Chain A
């Protein structure tokens, strides 16, 4: 009867949309204005980051496009040059373009760091929770020790050691990866703890017992049965973790530990800008800082909403 696929496709689209709308998550989302605004802002930032090379009027990472003579110009609406909407920094880089590119770098580092920390934490957490015994003790005690030290200090330490261990000629090229590695390594215990807790619960469930009885190997049970069922809380943690990772990257760069000044992230821009606060060049620090605040605020709100929506106890 349905030999023609077209009507089927047309029909399935609204159905999927309805399914999303009518799901628990969708229901909660469309009734929370905060969540909708936060999601819109976050998506806008992600789009801006992805499309930066096409939206930005200049490429601030290409030194040949920068003219020192245009340095320190105020925003165009505050009496500056029309070519530079948000003004220029002390090196003559267009601030609007630099924020787009810098925000892109911040978001990429944030996402990559969270992904790295999450993967590491979830794997270790599932292993610790499922296997138990000395493996559990070892992994969780290491996590506990690391949790007693503030994350940013761990990141500074790892980043410093990482930069020194790299040969000098590779330092600038790989500094972004070192920062990702440092931030990721500083927040895996959070993921490990949550995952382990969930895995402990799942391990006693009948379906896992059943899988064990029929003789499936441990790794397969962990991968196919335990892991999918512990991911819910991890998703919440990852969203909040993204905001923290972006802040951590900005902190490292602000302290001069992160990415090199020739490819500025938001933190680097704020660091450069704050040296000019006393001299009245407020825009160099203000706009990157504002961007950072809005970005982190939006991601945080989204994470908070997600925690509430996914937690059956809070409903």
Chain B
């Protein structure tokens, strides 16, 4: 993977070099791009999901953000420092929302509190924040219950809204996405960001125009003044759109078509290892599975069954045939680059059907059982094909899997409403810290923990690592937590994704391991 990273680095370096040249003349440039699925909602606190956050991040901004190399950089806050009670943030002065209102500390307090509400999908990120103190118009203190060394990392996706606008439009509470709630904020947005949404047809077309009053105008290398985004579900159609020049940039070209894109004059593709792990989740907490022929018992409650699944999945075959080589087979729900990742845990077991069958027999399921696998079909690279491959691999150990592949807008509510026995999910880590993974996926009642997995020892560790400021001690806690998780196997990891973007020559969008296109750095010639 090293050469991939080098490639990405080279691209970003060349972007920096272009900065000087571009800064002089900011001509209006349009970029047209596509990916397979649209943002699920424009409500900035409703869905903590990659494409949604990427879209909202063009319109809304947070106190702290990440640059394309994923370093923390100032956004609405210009500086921050820990205090006795939490963290103090100095806000940028002279920032206005698209509606014209000035950004003040009151808006920050409102937004943090909004993101902490029951219907917010981001509340897990900021559970440590107990209150927000407005010191003056441009100073705000986030009070935490005990010291929280990683709070700035947790704030990169907590977008700031205008409190007046939210009150006026009756959206002081985030949209309840899993309950399909309709609110004003899911189609309308009023942020401080570099782009303003001028046209929004969900799943069809979204047009954004540059915000002339943006605080960062002229400070970034980008020259894109108009963004036209059109989601195209069908992979072949997406590539055809790039080949025909209809779009300048495809975020997720199908991996099998990269060679074709690379061999076409005027087009190229770039790859970089992504911080996103793809894995299966099992409902191990239920008394009985909803979709299984086994009654009165839950096969997934037995760790031996989960380990057997892991032994039966041929990750190398998936990498070679399904992913065309563009994935890194793995064994933990954390990708290289996340604090807590280690090579030993991340080495998947070798395929061993005999051992897997023995484990199944030991658990009392020697004759196998049936279950439904819920799978998205427009979220991750080749997600449906991965699930299909798993169906035949699991048939070898007697698990008769029925596949239900659905668009992600129908798949994710199944997980959040705890309505699935066996599912595919991918997890990226914006904080680059394992605590994010534990708190969402493994802690008892974690908001994306649909497995029913619950371990008091792990819960205590996760709580403790939130307030531990001694870095070596905290790292040791993370390691210990991973030891517990790896032994319990609440999830079975398949691989970590490798990103591939397809671009027209003359269009530069710096690649980032979080799969977020940062258009403020994008240059169109």
Q: Is chain B found bound to chain A in the same assembly?
A: yes
Interface residues of A (CB under 8 A from B): 62-64, 66-69, 71-72, 90-92, 168-169, 171-173, 260-262, 274-281
With A91-B388, A281-B256 known to touch, is A64 a contact of B396 (CB < 8 Å)? Answer: yes
CB distance from A6 to the nearest CB of B (A): 54
B321 x A63 contact (CB < 8 A):
no
Q: Are B257 and A278 in contact (CB under 8 A)?
A: yes
A281 to chain B, nearest CB (A): 7
Residues of B within 8 A of A (CB): 234-236, 239-240, 243, 254, 256-257, 259-260, 290-291, 314, 317-318, 320-322, 372, 384-385, 388-389, 391-396, 401-405
14 residue pairs from A and B, CB less than 8 Å apart:
A66-B392, A69-B314, A71-B321, A90-B321, A91-B385, A91-B389, A261-B384, A262-B388, A262-B391, A275-B236, A275-B254, A276-B256, A277-B236, A278-B236
The answer to whether A261 touches B388, judged by C-beta atoms less than 8 angstroms apart, is: yes
CB of A62 within 8 A of CB of B239, answer no
A135 to B236, CA, bound (A): 50
Residues of A within 8 A of B401 (CB): 63
**A92 neighbours in B (Cβ, 8 Å):** 321, 392
- Are A90 and B290 in touch, CB under 8 angstroms? no
Which residues from chain A contact B259 at a C-beta distance below 8 Å? 279
Q: Which 10 pairs from chain A and chain B are nearest by CB?
A: A63-B392, A63-B395, A71-B321, A279-B256, A64-B395, A68-B317, A66-B392, A172-B402, A278-B257, A68-B389
Residues of A within 8 A of B396 (CB): 64
Cα A278 to Cα B324 with chains together (Å): 14
A169 to B371, CA, bound (A): 9
Of A91, A275, A280, which contacts B392 at CB under 8 A?
A91
Contact among A262, A275, A277, A279 with B403 in the assembled complex (CB-CB below 8 Å)? A262
A281 to B394, CA, bound (A): 27
Instruction: Kindly list chain A residues whose C-beta atoms are within 8 Å of the C-beta of B314.
Output: 68-69
A90-B322, A279-B257 given; name 8 further pairs at CB < 8 Å.
A64-B395, A68-B318, A68-B393, A91-B385, A260-B403, A275-B235, A279-B254, A279-B259
Q: Least Cβ distance of B397 to chain A in Å?
A: 9
Contact A274 B317 (CB under 8 A): no
Contacts of A172 in B (CB 8 A): 372, 402-404
Of chain B, the residue at the smallest CB distance from A91 is: B388
How far is it, in angstroms, between the C-alpha of A66 and the C-alpha of B82 when the chains are bound? 57
Residue among A262, A278, A281 with the most chain B CB within 10 A? A278
Closest chain A residue to B243, Cβ basis: A278
Determine the distance from Cα of A48 to Cα of B393 in the docked complex, in whole angstroms.
Answer: 29
Alpha-carbon distance A262/B395, docked complex (angstroms): 12
Residues of A within 8 A of B260 (CB): 278-280
- Report the separation of the CA atoms of residues A168 and B320 in the bound assembly, to the nearest whole angstrom: 33
Q: Chain A nearest CB: distance from B79 CB in Å?
A: 49
A278-B239 in contact (CB<8A): yes
Residue from B291, B385, B388, B401 whose CB has the most chain A CB atoms within 10 Å = B388
Which residues of chain B have C-beta atoms less than 8 A from A68's C-beta?
Answer: 314, 317-318, 321-322, 389, 392-393
- Given A72-B321, A261-B388, is A169 in contact with B291 using a C-beta cutoff of 8 Å? yes
What B residues does A72 contact at CB under 8 A? 321
Which B residues lie within 8 Å of A67 (CB)? Answer: 317, 392
Kindly report which residue of chain A lies nearest to residue B317, judged by CB atoms.
A68
Question: What is the bound-complex CA distance between A63 and B384, given in angstroms?
Answer: 15
| Smallest CB gap from B254: residue in A | A275
Q: Which residue of B lies closest to A73 (CB)?
A: B321
B239: chain A residues within 8 A (beta carbon): 278
For A261, the chain B residues whose CB sits under 8 A away are: 384, 388, 403, 405
Instruction: Report how far A277 CA is from B254 CA in the complex, Å.
Output: 11
Q: Considering the chains assembled together, what is the distance between the CA atoms of A67 and B314 in angstroms? A: 10
Of all chain B residues, the one with the shortest Cβ separation from A90 is: B385
Q: Which residue of chain B lies nearest to A285 when distances are taken between CB atoms in the complex?
A: B236
Out of B236, B290, B388, name the residue touching A169 (CB < 8 Å): B290
How far is the CB of B309 from the nearest CB of chain A, in Å? Answer: 14
Give complex CA distance A91, B382 in Å: 12
With a cutoff of 8 Å between Cβ atoms, the chain A residues found around residue B318 in the complex are 68
Bound CA span A90–B392, Å: 13
Q: Look across to chain A and name the residue whose beta carbon is closest to the beta carbon of B394.
A: A63
Once the chains are docked, how many angstroms separate the CA of A62 from the CA of B396?
10
Bound Cα distance A279, B263 (Å): 11
The residue in chain B whose Cβ has the minimal distance to the Cβ of A276 is B256
A171 touches B404 (CB 8 A): yes
CB distance from A72 to the nearest CB of B (A): 6
Count chain B CB atoms within 10 A of each CB in A68, A92, A173 and give the residue with the most: A68
Minimum CB–CB distance for A64 against chain B, Å? 4
Instruction: Provide the bound-state CA to CA distance between A226 and B260, in Å.
Output: 63
The answer to whether B236 touches A69, judged by C-beta atoms less than 8 angstroms apart, is no
Tell me the bound Cα distance from A274 to B257 in angstroms. 12
C-alpha gap A233/B18 in the complex (Å): 75
In the bound complex, CA of A275 to CA of B291 (Å)? 31
Q: How far is the CA of A74 from the CA of B129 in the complex (A)?
A: 58
A314 to B388, CA, bound (A): 53
Roughly how many angstroms separate A63 CA and B398 CA in the complex, as a whole number? 10
> Are A62 and B403 CB-contacts (below 8 A) given A71-B322, A91-B389, A275-B254?
no
B53 to chain A, nearest CB (A): 27
**Assembled-state Cα–Cα distance A171/B410 (Å):** 15
Q: Which of B236, B239, B320 has most chain A Cβ within 10 Å?
A: B236
A261 to B401, CA, bound (A): 12
A66 to B322, CA, bound (A): 14
CA distance A171 to B402 in the complex (A): 10
Whole-angstrom CA separation of A173 from B243 in the bound complex: 40
* A64 close to B392 (CB less than 8 A): yes
**Contacts A69-B317, A169-B372, A262-B403 known; A278 to B385 CB distance under 8 Å?**
no
Measured CA separation A92–B318 after assembly (Å): 11
Which residue of A has the minimal Cβ distance to B421?
A: A169
Residues of A within 8 A of B395 (CB): 62-64
Residue of B whose beta carbon sits closest to that of A62: B395
Closest B residue, CB atoms, query A66? B392
A257 to chain B, nearest CB (A): 12
Q: Which residue of B lies closest to A271 (CB)?
A: B234
Chain A contacts for B291, CB-based, 8 A: 168-169
Residues of chain B lying within 8 A (CB to CB) of residue A173: 402
Closest beta carbon of chain A to B143's beta carbon, Å: 45
Residues of chain B within 8 A of A62, CB atoms compared? 395
| Residues on the A chain within 8 Å of B389, using CB | 68, 91
Give the chain A neighbours of B321 by CB distance below 8 A. 68-69, 71-72, 90, 92
Docked CA distance A96–B197 (Å) = 50
A276 to B260, CA, bound (A): 11
- When C-beta atoms are compared, the residue in chain A nearest to B256 turns out to be A279
Q: Which residue of B lies closest to A261 (CB)?
A: B388
- Chain A residues whose C-beta falls within 8 Å of the C-beta of B256 in the assembled complex: 275-276, 278-279, 281
Q: In the complex the two chains form, what is the Cα distance from A91 to B314 in whole Å? A: 13
Which residue of chain B is the closest to A272 with respect to CB atoms?
B385
Instruction: Looking at the assembled complex, report how far the CB atom of A302 sits from the nearest CB atom of chain B, in whole angstroms.
Output: 34
Cα distance, A281 to B385, chains bound together (Å): 16
Residue of B235, B256, B291 with highest tally of chain A CB at under 10 A = B256
Report how far A214 CA is from B260 CA in the complex, Å: 79
Please give the distance in Å from A267's CB to the nearest CB on chain B: 15
Distance A275 CA – B382 CA, assembled complex (angstroms): 11
Q: CA of A269 to CA of B391 in the docked complex: distance in angstroms? A: 17
